[in-house]
Amino acid sequence: MAELTSLHDALIEEIKDLYDAEQQLTKALPAMAKAATNGALQGALEAHLVETRGQVTRLETIFELLDVKPQRKRCAGIAGIIEEASETMQEDAPPAVLDACIIAGGQRAEHYEMAAYGTLVAWARMLELEQIAQLLEQTLEEEKAADEKLSDLAEAGINESAMEAEDEEDEEVSAPAKKRRSTVPKS
């Protein structure tokens, strides 16, 4: 465990944490894209994978600017989010419901990252590390855009399709009950 004696030390530790988070996501995003049934959602996840790889490279540039060897510090937060998303993708669910859940998991990850990058931008500016702040802010804007894209996909029909799948499931469950009631002899 690193000794934190300054805001500069904290900045470096958080960058190590994000470096691990982004690398975990480069492994999780392909599985999410493969599990998605909506083509636009698959495309958005695949596009964000490319962006995430660029974010890893950007963090390596930041390490260089800080004269620190790139190093990962396990990001338990993103690991938990990925684990929850993986469990959800194993569920037996209608495709539209699964897509809605994939969006929810993706947005949890984006919000986690937005909070972390936002904090680091503020810290870098406080430490007068403007070039680093700009690089971090570039990633922050990409994370915000990815979150917005997921919201747009959800609102453009995925959530509605998930709701319709639920209605269809209710109808299938209630149909046998109606049939049973109709076969009961009247007295």
Over the stretch 82-128, which tens digit does the pLDDT of each residue have? 999 999 888 888 889 999 999 999 999 999 999 999 999 999 999 99
Residue 19 identity? Y
Nearest to 86 by CA among 73, 105, 70, 67: 105
Residue 52 identity? T
pTM above threshold 0.75 = yes
Kindly report, residue by residue over 32-49, the tens digit of the pLDDT. Answer: 999 999 999 999 999 999
Give me the pLDDT at residue 111, please: 97
Distances (CA, A) of 25 to 10, 38, 99, 171: 22, 20, 18, 38
Q: List, in order of start, the domains of the chain with CATH numbers.
A: 7-182 (1.20.1260.10)
143 touches 51 (CB < 8 A):
no
pLDDT band of residue 177 (cuts 50, 70, 90) is: very low
